[in-house]
Structure 1
Amino acid sequence: MNPKKILIIGPSWLGDMVIAQKLFKTIKDIYPNSKLHVASPAWTIPLVSRMPEVDQSISLPFSHGELNILKRYQIAKVLRLEGYSQAIVLTNSFKSALIPFFAGIPKRTGFLGEMRFALINDCIKKDPSLYRTVDQFLALAPKSKNTKVSLSTSLISKPSQGKRILAGKLSRFKKVLGIAPGAEYGESKRWPIEYFADVANEAIQNGWEVISLGSANDQDLGKTLDRLTKNKVINLIGKTKLGEVIDVISLCQSFLSNDSGLMHVAASLNIKQVAIFGSSDPKKTPPLSRHAKLAYLGLSCSPCFERVCPLQHTNCLKNIRPSEIIKKLI
């Protein structure tokens, strides 16, 4: 059967949402005429709206960890009118499976987790050999012998909008390096800001323009970077919306970041990049791009997946020297 309309309950993390695009591409490859709707937290919608495979994005008004069964039931009552033939739930929580259940969607696909036996009726056994997040997402795709598993992610960018944002700040004759020194998860994923400054200063000395990007939570990092580079970096941290960040990154020839949501955004735009991994594992959530290079030491204590270094030294990051990154990036 060719499902006419499929609802995806998407992930909350920006990076995971970019990775999920590979699933969306696969579904559209199997069912070209299907309608794909993606329901996800409000902060991910600017990403979803840049995915050509998604026919409609649905903003879910829940904060991290919020259950609110009544509100989920009310949303499900509205979605019931869409007549979905299948729902695919990408996250493993109990609450994420409630809306498809309340909406009466006949086929509800997902991994078992958090006592979801009644909520998920098309249960997929999680293969322990599928370690990468992208492979776990693809395990939830409809089965087809002709599935193209090599598809990359590719967000729609609007370079003209990026140029408008940078009007008067960018030289048309210089290469552009984008840097994103933040990581929402915690400090154990953030390369020292002094090292980012060393790379930026080296790039500037070699005739590059450097743009710093990030959320409002990264503004202190941006101020420190300004001081260490004598305000020679174009600081857009906390000054642009996510959609605008996509457009600005599309103007970059190279991109440097921690393992973060913007790392995955850069990967989706197929530009040269270096991704720095500390407490996380590049085997699990690598940037899905042939242009990406990784910086990861693989210490005996790595990956720990902790927000703060349990050993209080963060050597997995501090021992990655700026000189090594400059060789890979510039």
Structure 2
Amino acid sequence: MPHRILVIAPAWVGDSVMAQPLYRRLKGYRPDTHITVMAPDWTLPLLDRMAEVDATLRNPFGHGALRLGSRYQLGRRLRGQYDQAIVLPNSFKSALIPWFARIPQRTGFVGESRYGLLNDARTLDPKALPQMVERFAILAETAGRPLPRPVPAPRMTVDPQTRDQAVQALGLDVDRPVVAFCPGAEYGPAKRWPARHFAELARRLVSQGYAVWLFGSAKDQPETAAIAIEAGVPLVDLAGRTSLAQAIDLLSLAHLVVTNDSGLMHVAAALERPLVALYGSSSPEFTPPLNERAEIVTLDLDCSPCFERKCPLKHFDCMEKLGAELVESAIARVLTKPPGTPGSPYIRVQPV
């Protein structure tokens, strides 16, 4: 009989990508493991592109919704189907379904006082596990065992036929090398490089013969529209025009990705695309793009990272003073870095 594991996955796109090394470790230890991942609808396309995931379950509970009775009913329907549950979110309610399902081993970090819900409860040591990908991966280990390093980087696979269908459906021209811009960041504006800087970089890249595609959700359309207007050169604005599945497949075509610290940054890294990641209010120490051909650019100001959604000091210097010329220099480093070169420490630059 295969060892049957139910993973309660995170709701954020980037976090979902960073859970993939956990799945790889689980399969490495027991190849007969059958992994089912319960996740929100919007992250299911990510899981479809992870070879280690055998099945998915739709998580019907929105952010903050307790719906205790519905959770009980779902847990009851799952009884007898799994040997272990691994709960990645730290909330109390995320551990309820495995408990209601009476899954024999329920693994996760203590979180919101979940001792009664988890019987394999772990205490997180943030200093020993500074990166989120490490905090997920260690849950593949038995309690008390240190994390074997290095942790494999997240990886996703794309079906070329499905990718070609996306290209045709959107009428895209792939004759020129594509630079993908990901100017959104779901967390808040403090993580977003200003539109005028993206526009300036777009002008420079188009003059060098690149095609620039703008990626994002419908929420990012005001930002991508501002970039396209300010740039004054032909750009392909895909924000709100693609599903997440199509965005993943199209990002795999990119010669280069320039991105804020966002879910799509982690998608691009997992697709092994050369990329330049821009950090202001968040920290590249905790959630870096896990990709050998990545450059992280940050001004490393005294006030950052602040981890706020909006600049608490009202000046937003961490992104405002990070000009297009600094990013263009990082692009040159990325595109001349031979494949297989070990990742470099992130780049701290001085404001101009």
TM-score by length of 1: 0.95
Structure 1 Cα separation of the partners of residues 155 and 165 of structure 2? 22
Query: 1:134: Cα distance to partner?
Result: 0.9
Aligned partner of 1:312 among 311, 314, 321: 314
Structure 2 Cα separation of the partners of residues 194 and 74 of structure 1? 51
Structure 1 Cα separation of the partners of residues 280 and 200 of structure 2? 19
Query: 1:297: Cα distance to partner?
Result: 1.7
Structure 1 Cα separation of the partners of residues 166 and 203 of structure 2? 23
Q: Could you say which residue in structure 2 is the equivalent of 1:99? A: 97
Q: Could you say which residue in structure 2 is the equivalent of 1:77? A: 76
Q: Could you say which residue in structure 1 is the equivalent of 2:344? A: none
For the pair 1:324 / 2:323, whether they are aligned, the reply is no
Question: Could you tell me the percent identity over the aligned residues?
Answer: 42
Query: 1:25: Cα distance to partner?
Result: 0.7
Aligned partner of 1:197 among 186, 199, 207: 199
Structure 1 Cα separation of the partners of residues 292 and 267 of structure 2? 14
Query: 1:231: Cα distance to partner?
Result: 5.6
Structure 2 Cα separation of the partners of residues 120 and 165 of structure 1? 42
Q: Residues 190 and 258 of structure 1 are in contact (CA less than 8 Å); yes or no, is this contact kept in structure 2? A: yes
> Which stretch of structure 1 is more off in the superposition, 317-326 or 147-156?
147-156
1:22-33, aligned counterparts within 5 Å?
22-33=21-32
Q: Aligned with 1:44: secondary structure?
A: helix
Query: 1:81: Cα distance to partner?
Result: 4.1
Residues 32/40 of structure 1: CA separation in 2 closer, same or farther (3 Å cut): same
Q: Residues 272 and 291 of structure 2 are in contact (CA less than 8 Å); yes or no, is this contact kept in structure 1? A: yes
Q: Aligned with 1:109: secondary structure?
A: strand
Q: Which string of whole-angstrom CA distances, capped at 9 and with x for unpartnered residues, describes residues 282-302 of structure 1? A: 000001111111011221111
Q: Could you say which residue in structure 2 is the equivalent of 1:224? A: 226
Q: Which string of whole-angstrom CA distances, capped at 9 and with x for unpartnered residues, describes residues 64-102 of structure 1? A: 1111111111211222142x1111111110000000000
Q: Residues 134 and 151 of structure 2 are in contact (CA less than 8 Å); yes or no, is this contact kept in structure 1? A: no
Query: 1:159: Cα distance to partner?
Result: 3.6
Q: Could you say which residue in structure 2 is the equivalent of 1:246? A: 248
Q: Could you say which residue in structure 2 is the equivalent of 1:86? A: 84
- Displaced runs of 4+ in structure 1, greater than 4 A? 144-148
1:148-159, aligned counterparts within 5 Å?
149-159=150-160
Q: Which string of whole-angstrom CA distances, capped at 9 and with x for unpartnered residues, describes residues 182-216 of structure 1? A: 00000000000111111111111000011110011
TM-score by length of 2: 0.89
Query: 1:145: Cα distance to partner?
Result: 9.0
Aligned partner of 1:272 among 271, 274, 277: 274
Structure 2 Cα separation of the partners of residues 153 and 16 of structure 1? 11
Q: Residues 29 and 147 of structure 1 are in contact (CA less than 8 Å); yes or no, is this contact kept in structure 2? A: no
Structure 2 Cα separation of the partners of residues 145 and 92 of structure 1? 20
Give the root-mean-square deviation of aligned CA atoms: 1.7
Structure 1 residue ranges without an equivalent (≥5): none
Q: Could you say which residue in structure 1 is the equivalent of 2:346? A: none
Q: Could you say which residue in structure 1 is the equivalent of 2:172? A: 169
Q: Which string of whole-angstrom CA distances, capped at 9 and with x for unpartnered residues, describes residues 39-66 of structure 1? A: 1112111111111100011111121111
Structure 2 Cα separation of the partners of residues 296 and 163 of structure 1? 35
Q: Residues 26 and 149 of structure 1 are in contact (CA less than 8 Å); yes or no, is this contact kept in structure 2? A: no
Q: Could you say which residue in structure 2 is the equivalent of 1:134? A: 133
Q: Aligned with 2:19: secondary structure?
A: helix
Q: Aligned with 2:112: secondary structure?
A: coil
Query: 1:123: Cα distance to partner?
Result: 1.1
Structure 1 Cα separation of the partners of residues 191 and 261 of structure 2? 7
Which structure would you say has the larger RCO, counting Cα contacts within 8 Å and 6 or more residues apart? 1
Q: Residues 26 and 147 of structure 1 are in contact (CA less than 8 Å); yes or no, is this contact kept in structure 2? A: no
Q: Aligned with 1:270: secondary structure?
A: coil
Query: 1:10: Cα distance to partner?
Result: 0.6
Q: Aligned with 1:140: secondary structure?
A: helix
Q: Residues 159 and 251 of structure 1 are in contact (CA less than 8 Å); yes or no, is this contact kept in structure 2? A: no
Structure 2 Cα separation of the partners of residues 210 and 175 of structure 1? 9
Structure 2 Cα separation of the partners of residues 246 and 31 of structure 1? 29
